[in-house]
Structure 1
Amino acid sequence: MTAMILGILGLIAAIGLIGYLVIVLILPGRF
């Protein structure tokens, strides 16, 4: 169960990091 929880948290962290990078890369180009 612990491994599954860590896996889910890791997945959420990865998605959040990718989304953050996308926002940082796209927003400066629009403004």
Structure 2
Amino acid sequence: MKWLDGDWNICLRETINKILKILETGKVYYA
């Protein structure tokens, strides 16, 4: 499971963080 480590994992976390931020701002806009 080496592909879970390193750059791929960092990219995945950054993508998840971006999605969460978009969802949070979406909640603010739609609230």
TM over 0.5: yes
TM range (shorter): 0.7 to 0.9
Q: Structure 2, unaligned stretches of length 5 or more? A: none
More helix as a share of residues: 1
Q: Structure 1, unaligned stretches of length 5 or more? A: none
TM-score norm. by structure 2 comes to 0.79
Deviating above 4 A after TM superposition, structure 1's stretches of 4 or more consecutive aligned residues are none
TM-score norm. by structure 1 comes to 0.79
The structure with higher relative contact order (CA 8 Å, sep 6+) is 2
